[in-house]
Structure 1
């Protein structure tokens, strides 16, 4: 039995490095994530990490992959339309907990193969939803991309410049009350409003593109 002796440091692995990197990104933001910071949190030197990863760029790629494999699949639901909407809302909720991950994905520098499971399940559900419309696979892929951009936009842009703080206020009044460089950081209300907007938008976008009721 290879039990670790009391006080002996845990064996460093790529998995431990990625787990700690994800924790730092969640706690401190993506800009705070460096190889040195990960080494500090793990109680080791940078040289030890370089035995497992090449640099920060590879660390970001591994993080993107880690996030991608946890994107939610569709839940069982008798109504296919609701199933499709539910999967995209679940993806929003998941990425909203790790907004730094949405930033990595949106920048497009790190392609995560792990996202293929989410993509395939979402495409399959869209194909069933299209039903008699007989959309081609290329058209369904386009629908998927539109939904994906819609999702990322709502995750990343919870407080876009020019949007109002209160329901019913006009854009003109919002523009007068705030300068672009003085817009406060998004709070829980802004994030909640963003989700509400996505709930409103998803069925309308789906119905418009697929001709569903």
Structure 2
């Protein structure tokens, strides 16, 4: 039975051509697009600019990638392939395994800060092979920990939302630093006196600021990420302990 419904606009919802031109393949286009994004940012990405880097016209690219939106889906899935997810071999090591996943995801976003700005524009990116493969392995960790089918996916999304949220802020901050030409330490040193002046009429903020030692700003970011990650894992662990019929997780 035929239908008039339009196809879903996603690279993962249509069939990939069986054969591609050897000189210009989808894989080569995606690899060069990632390099362009890393070097120049998402604003610089267009089919024309990418074609120029590849020594090909935009029309040639469209034989392999139907649109810029599809290209975004492809590059997001490409960099997700860098995320490392351990096997679910030891149920008692679930916290350590999930923390490793979270750190790997954060590291990927900080290596490719443009990812944070396109995550809401990726259509059916979740159907990409790398993203689906990492999700499958993460679900296995949550299931091994004791989360029931259905809730395991929600628990995974909670952890990922934390990582993406904090890493997006970090990526924006690091992009600002790169444009300024300053090191992170130079930026922090220059901001310190202005921050202290701004907090004069805000006693609670001033007290919190004074309670935290002035340290290497990169180390502070690492400690802030770890603190939030541990609190998210605490919440997931408490859920497992309180759920009826679940085994007690150490």
Distance 1:174 1:123, change over 3 A: farther
The higher radius of gyration belongs to 2
Structure 2 match to 1:48: 60
Alpha-carbon distance in structure 2 between the residues aligned to 1:119 and 1:174: 46
Aligned: 1:116 with 2:132 = yes
Structure 1 match to 2:40: 28
Distance 1:205 1:37, change over 3 A: same
Distance 1:175 1:47, change over 3 A: farther
Instruction: Give the structure-2-normalised TM-score.
Output: 0.63
Distance 1:83 1:12, change over 3 A: same
Alpha-carbon distance in structure 1 between the residues aligned to 2:167 and 2:35: 19
Alpha-carbon distance in structure 1 between the residues aligned to 2:200 and 2:101: 33
After TM superposition, give the deviation of residue 172 of structure 1 in Å.
Answer: 6.0
Distance 1:45 1:190, change over 3 A: farther
Structure 2 match to 1:62: 74
Instruction: Give the structure-1-normalised TM-score.
Output: 0.72
Give every structure 1 segment of 4 or more consecutive aligned residues whose post-TM-superposition deviation is greater than 4 Å.
Answer: 75-78, 169-172, 189-192
Structure 2 match to 1:91: 105
RMSD value over aligned CA atoms? 3.1
Aligned: 1:205 with 2:219 = no
Q: How many residues align?
A: 183
Structure 2 unaligned segments of length 5 or more: list them: 1-21, 174-187, 203-215, 239-248
Structure 1 unaligned segments of length 5 or more: list them: 1-9, 177-188
Contact 2:30 2:71 survives alignment (8 Å): yes
Within 5 Å, give how 1:71-150 maps onto structure 2. Answer: 71-74=83-86, 79-113=93-127, 114=129, 115-130=131-146, 135-150=147-162
Contact 2:30 2:75 survives alignment (8 Å): yes
Q: Deviations over 1:61-120 (max 9, x none)?
A: 211221233322126777332122112111111221012123322445342322122112
After TM superposition, give the deviation of residue 32 of structure 1 in Å.
Answer: 0.6
